[in-house]
Chain A
Amino acid sequence: MANRSGAAQRPNGTQGKICQFKLVLLGESAVGKSSLVLRFVKGQFHEYQESTIGAAFLTQTVCLDDTTVKFEIWDTAGQERYHSLAPMYYRGAQAAIVVYDITNQDTFGRAKTWVKELQRQASPTIVIALAGNKQDLANKRMVEFEEAQTYADENGLLFMETSAKTALNVNDIFLAIAKKLPKYDQNQGQSGQGQGRRLAEGDQGAKTPGNCCK
């Protein structure tokens, strides 16, 4: 907690701009949405991650060149019953990670439905990433990498296979999203729709996960 209040320090001592983005995780129940977030935000993994009821909220900050990107992460419940609450979370989201479980073909089908819903309902500029999670169980794979990659290419999605358990590609997928998000241009007056909110310098602190700020 403590280091969250410090101002974002750049290697050369100057402060870059800070952008804040709302990101939502969607996908079938038990594909590992909460686990991906927990790995990304706290670097932890629980085999028996409690099921998410409704939604959970966490934040994490990553550094990109001269920009600090703060993610407000909304982790949603996977069961269909909770679907009616989901739009509350993805409304106004600038990014989404749609998660499936590579060992379960149905969850991939469900992921496609989520992508469709986002394309139809969410902000038109939303950045969508597809995450094939549980890559550590590749020996039980039911969804081929190529199949998902092709689907992602056709739909303009970022795509990675991830493992919350081994941390494979977890930071990477968030970083890739951060790179793709339109950063607020300092020279323009107002931030446009679908763009990150620019925070006043020093207003919000930044915590740097991993080694992105070395």
Chain B
Amino acid sequence: MNEEELLQRAVEEREKLFKRYEQGREGGAEIDPWEDPGFEVYHTTDRYGFIHDKRLPSKVDIHEAKKLQIEVERQKKWIKMLKSWDNALTSDKLHSRVYKGIPDSLRSIIWCKLLNVEDTKNANSGIYLKMYTLARQYSTDARQIDSDVNRQFREHLHYRERYSIKQQQLFNVLTSYAMYNSEVGYCQGMSGLAGVLLMYMNEEDAFWALHILLTDPKYAMHGYYKEGFPKLTRFLAHHDKIMSKFLPKLKKHFDKHGLDAMLYSLKWFFICFVERVPFSLCLRVWDIHLLDGERVITAMAYTILKIHKRNLLKLNDMDAIVNYIQVKLHKDFLIDDDTVIQNLERSMEELKRAKMDTAGPPQKEEIPTRPFGVFKKPTIDKIVGMRTDKFSEKERQTNELVVLTSDIARENAEKDESYACHPNDSVGGHTGSKFSFEHSNDDASSLLDCEHMGSRRSLADTSVTSTADLSVFSTITRSQAHDNSLDTHSNLSDNSVGGASSVGSGIAATSTHRAFSAHTTPRAASHNQNPDVLRIYVPYSPLDTPVASPHNGDLQKSVPCLFHENKVRIKIDNDELPTPLVEHGQIIKSFNIDTELDLK
């Protein structure tokens, strides 16, 4: 085909695609049978509109009903708060209420308020229609957008039918936005973002909400989607840094299996956990993200790995790890949303203390440079959909960086391999490095531990951490820090021993602990060989927090009998209670000091 023919064909194709969405499902719509899914609507739809491949339970779950009841109560408070929204914006109440979850019936209003959609829309009156008209005439992204609309949220009521009203809106918002923000255009992933917004907003509001998410410095998602993904590389580097500091064992485990964060976390960063955690939890994270901005994503990424660390450490190939993070956690996160959000909040504080809550200021190329809504005629190559053969400078840099990062991780993993001869021993086993010393992972990970022993041990370890001679471990840490060329952050070696973050830095020693044990001081060795003081943690169920049951991973509402099974208590050597219990006042009472027995 010559150029003229190609151009003509592109025009025809665009015309055809737009016409289909304009026409919708009305008479004569060309829909292949496979394009319309055959779900049974009423019998399997959840409260958000997602259709599940199973029957709804015949009885209302008591737990679920109670939650709905609470939500109704909360609605009243929210409606009151809405009346004086400007005051609310500055109040602590808003913070705590958003973290408790915005009632679903009010999400439409509150999300728009949090994003300040109204003002942006009013300031740009008429623009959306103008962009749509331009897209109608010149869009070069229509084909890609069409193919993504055809597979976005197809198990959701609104998007179920081909060319349904929401599918039309999704197509319109994305094609129009690609014209408005021509620097980003359309990038895969944006359909998920706009898709969620459209579940709670009308077309024009969703357009502006999308724009705010991309360009408001608080969210700045523009840099994720832009050619070369500059923000992604920055956030992944930061994510790696957080892992090296707070989850070094897991980081080494991932490195050993060649698992780069790039592989499992893209939907975390690009679409704020859509299709990676259950939708109800995803909405809760969105609520908080809209309130507090991009640092929420960083903290949530860390929280997911922290909560599931123990289970992830047990998986010994990349396939299984990726499947766990991407598929299993989407189906079932194993712990309830409220507990996850509590953990998220704690992670945010933890990262803040370590001055790692943000990934630093954006690079120049992450910030939009082209003015919005200024039309530039697409090049012929773009119109006919010709691919460029060469990378742009930024793409080339990204490419090199990505390759370099994976090389370094592999080299480190190979180095570690040569130290540790039986890596499985230290992973949730009872031999080898027995204490995890992972201050930040105590209660959350024990909730998910498949072995009862593990959960008890993890809190026992926590208390040991507070009294143990950390200097030994920080010595190892320091020597390790030199090896860890990925970690450019100097916190590992700089932190003073005993501070909150130094406990974290002690973690770095765990996986190489045995390799270095020949050099440990007698005092540290005594902790391993003959611990004279131990605290035993009793698994409990604070406020009916669901706990993963040992074998099938199903949720239980409580673990009533465990308390009595743990008769053996060992003397607590100081007045300090095991730290994590402090979070749940009610429990501390029942776990009283007088239930202890001195086994000696």
> Taking beta carbons and an 8 Å cutoff, which residues of A are in contact with B?
1, 29-30, 47-51, 53-59, 72, 77, 79-85, 87-88, 91, 106, 110, 113
Closest Cβ of chain A to B417, distance in Å, is: 14
Residue from A72, A85, A87 in contact with B262 in the complex, judged by beta carbons closer than 8 Å: A85
What are 23 of the A-B contact pairs (CB < 8 Å)? A1-B320, A29-B144, A29-B188, A48-B151, A48-B155, A49-B151, A50-B151, A50-B152, A51-B147, A51-B152, A53-B188, A53-B271, A57-B263, A58-B319, A59-B318, A79-B144, A81-B188, A81-B227, A84-B398, A87-B402, A88-B406, A91-B403, A113-B387
Residue in B closest to A60 when the chains form the complex, CB atoms: B319
Given A47-B34, A88-B402: A79 touches B151 (CB 8 Å cut-off): no
B187 contacts A by Cβ under 8 Å: yes
Provide the main secondary structure of the chain A interface: mixed
Closest Cβ of chain A to B337, distance in Å, is: 22
Residues of A with C-beta under 8 A to B423 = none
Are A51 and B151 in touch, CB under 8 angstroms? yes
Residues of A with C-beta under 8 A to B262 = 54-55, 85, 88
Closest Cβ of chain B to A34, distance in Å, is: 10
Are A110 and B402 in touch, CB under 8 angstroms? no
Residues of B with C-beta under 8 A to A77 = 188
Chain B, range 147-164, C-beta contacts under 8 Å to A = 147-148, 150-152, 154-155
Residues of B with C-beta under 8 A to A83 = 391, 395
- With A57-B263, A84-B396 known, 8 other A-B pairs at CB within 8 A are A51-B191, A53-B271, A56-B326, A57-B318, A84-B228, A84-B399, A84-B402, A88-B402
Are B322 and A56 in touch, CB under 8 angstroms? yes
* Docked complex Cα distance between A118 and B225 (Å): 26
B576 contacts A by Cβ under 8 Å: no
Given A79-B187, A113-B387: A54 touches B266 (CB 8 Å cut-off): yes
Are A79 and B398 in touch, CB under 8 angstroms? no
Chain B, range 373-426, C-beta contacts under 8 Å to A = 385, 387-389, 391, 395-396, 398-399, 402-403, 406
Given A47-B37, A51-B151, A110-B387: A81 touches B187 (CB 8 Å cut-off): yes
Q: How many A-B residue pairs have CB under 8 A?
A: 89
Given A51-B151, A53-B266: A85 touches B398 (CB 8 Å cut-off): yes
Residues of B with C-beta under 8 A to A59 = 317-319
B101 contacts A by Cβ under 8 Å: no
Closest Cβ of chain A to B9, distance in Å, is: 9
Chain B, range 216-256, C-beta contacts under 8 Å to A = 225, 227-229
Residue from B150, B387, B403 in contact with A87 in the complex, judged by beta carbons closer than 8 Å: B403
B189 contacts A by Cβ under 8 Å: yes
Residue from B227, B322, B387, B399 in contact with A57 in the complex, judged by beta carbons closer than 8 Å: B322
Residues of B with C-beta under 8 A to A58 = 319
B100 contacts A by Cβ under 8 Å: no
Residue from B151, B263, B317, B318 in contact with A54 in the complex, judged by beta carbons closer than 8 Å: B263
Residues of B with C-beta under 8 A to A88 = 260, 262, 399, 402-403, 406
Closest Cβ of chain A to B382, distance in Å, is: 11
Closest Cβ of chain A to B384, distance in Å, is: 9
* Docked complex Cα distance between A82 and B317 (Å): 25
> Taking beta carbons and an 8 Å cutoff, which residues of B are in contact with A?
34-35, 37, 144, 147-148, 150-152, 154-155, 187-189, 191, 225, 227-229, 260, 262-263, 266-267, 270-271, 275, 317-320, 322, 326, 385, 387-389, 391, 395-396, 398-399, 402-403, 406
Residues of B with C-beta under 8 A to A91 = 403
Residues of A with C-beta under 8 A to B225 = 81
Are A51 and B263 in touch, CB under 8 angstroms? no
Are B263 and A55 in touch, CB under 8 angstroms? yes
Residues of B with C-beta under 8 A to A1 = 320
Closest Cβ of chain B to A174, distance in Å, is: 16
* Docked complex Cα distance between A88 and B275 (Å): 24
Residues of A with C-beta under 8 A to B395 = 83-84
Task: Give the 5 A-B CB pairs with smallest separation, nearest first.
Answer: A84-B395, A48-B154, A54-B266, A30-B147, A59-B319
Closest Cβ of chain A to B462, distance in Å, is: 32
Residues of A with C-beta under 8 A to B403 = 87-88, 91
Closest Cβ of chain A to B228, distance in Å, is: 6
Are A48 and B189 in touch, CB under 8 angstroms? no
* Docked complex Cα distance between A87 and B396 (Å): 10
Residues of B with C-beta under 8 A to A57 = 263, 318-319, 322
Residue from A48, A84, A113 in contact with B150 in the complex, judged by beta carbons closer than 8 Å: A48
Are A113 and B188 in touch, CB under 8 angstroms? no
Given A79-B144, A84-B228: A113 touches B267 (CB 8 Å cut-off): no
* Docked complex Cα distance between A106 and B271 (Å): 29
Are B151 and A87 in touch, CB under 8 angstroms? no
Closest Cβ of chain B to A125, distance in Å, is: 20
Closest Cβ of chain A to B421, distance in Å, is: 14
Closest Cβ of chain A to B207, distance in Å, is: 21
* Docked complex Cα distance between A88 and B401 (Å): 10
Max chain B CB contacts within 10 Å: which of A48, A59, A80, A91? Answer: A48
Residue in A closest to B319 when the chains form the complex, CB atoms: A59
* Docked complex Cα distance between A53 and B326 (Å): 12
Residues of A with C-beta under 8 A to B388 = 80
Residue in A closest to B226 when the chains form the complex, CB atoms: A81
Residue in A closest to B1 when the chains form the complex, CB atoms: A105
Residues of A with C-beta under 8 A to B34 = 47
Are A113 and B151 in touch, CB under 8 angstroms? no
Residue from A29, A47, A56, A82 in contact with B147 in the complex, judged by beta carbons closer than 8 Å: A29
Closest Cβ of chain A to B218, distance in Å, is: 23
Residues of B with C-beta under 8 A to A56 = 322, 326
Residues of A with C-beta under 8 A to B320 = 1
Residues of A with C-beta under 8 A to B155 = 48
Residue from A48, A55, A82, A87 in contact with B188 in the complex, judged by beta carbons closer than 8 Å: A82
Closest Cβ of chain A to B365, distance in Å, is: 13
Residues of A with C-beta under 8 A to B396 = 84
Closest Cβ of chain A to B388, distance in Å, is: 8
Residues of B with C-beta under 8 A to A50 = 151-152, 275
